[in-house]
């Protein structure tokens, strides 16, 4: 199943200019991660070395190579969110459990600080109490 998804994703983007990032983004979106086993296949299809593909995957913190064990909550730790209480939110999210908490540095939601993303859902003006409601 995963192999089929990787193959079809590569085929869909292979003819584009600069297909590596679109392939990685689509795999991350579809599977929730980029399987390590897919890196050689991607490298071969794009005529890149494994090191080049690994370098791109490891450079961008957005990409993960392990399947998340719980829903992923990305808490913005950039200046605007920090000024509006992101540190308190970060501590609360880590203590809450039930989700995999990751730091990100700008979600583009500065006007709604502090912000986070739960999966693909943006959450603005988030407080620890609202986070409890969202996480259940």
Question: What are the domain boundaries of the chain?
Answer: 1-66, 70-133
Burial of 133 (0-12, 13-18, 19+ CB in 10 A): exposed
Binding residues for [2Fe-2S] cluster: 76, 81, 106, 110
Q: Kindly report the pTM of this predicted structure.
A: 0.76
Report the distance separating Cα 3 and Cα 50, nearest Å: 17
- Condensed to tens digits (0 to 9), the pLDDT of residues 78-101 reads 999 999 999 999 999 999 888 999
Could you tell me which of 81, 94, 95 has the C-alpha nearest to residue 126? Answer: 81
Sole residue written with tokens 């913190």: 61
Binding residues: 76, 81, 106, 110
Could you tell me which of 14, 77, 12, 5 has the C-alpha nearest to residue 34? Answer: 5
Q: Do domains 1-66 and 70-133 have the same CATH topology?
A: no
CATH number of 70-133: 3.40.30.10
Query: What confidence score (pLDDT) does residue 62 get?
Result: 85
Question: Selecting from 2.20.25.240, 3.40.50.10190, 2.30.30.50, 1.10.10.1590, what CATH number does the domain 1-66 have?
Answer: 1.10.10.1590
């Amino acid at each position: 199943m995963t192999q089929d998804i990787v193959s079809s994703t590569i085929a869909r983007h292979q003819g584009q200019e600069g297909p590596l990032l679109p392939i990685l983004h689509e795999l991350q979106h579809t599977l929730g991660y980029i399987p390590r086993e897919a890196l050689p296949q991607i490298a071969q299809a794009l005529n890149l070395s494994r090191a080049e593909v690994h370098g791109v995957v490891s450079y961008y913190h957005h990409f993960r190579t392990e399947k998340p064990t719980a829903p992923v909550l990305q808490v913005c730790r950039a200046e605007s969110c920090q000024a509006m209480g992101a540190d308190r939110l970060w501590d609360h999210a880590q203590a809450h459990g039930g989700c995999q908490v990751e730091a990100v540095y700008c979600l583009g939601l500065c006007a709604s600080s502090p912000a986070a993303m739960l999966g693909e859902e943006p959450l603005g003006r988030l407080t620890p109490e609202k986070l409890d409601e969202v996480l259940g």
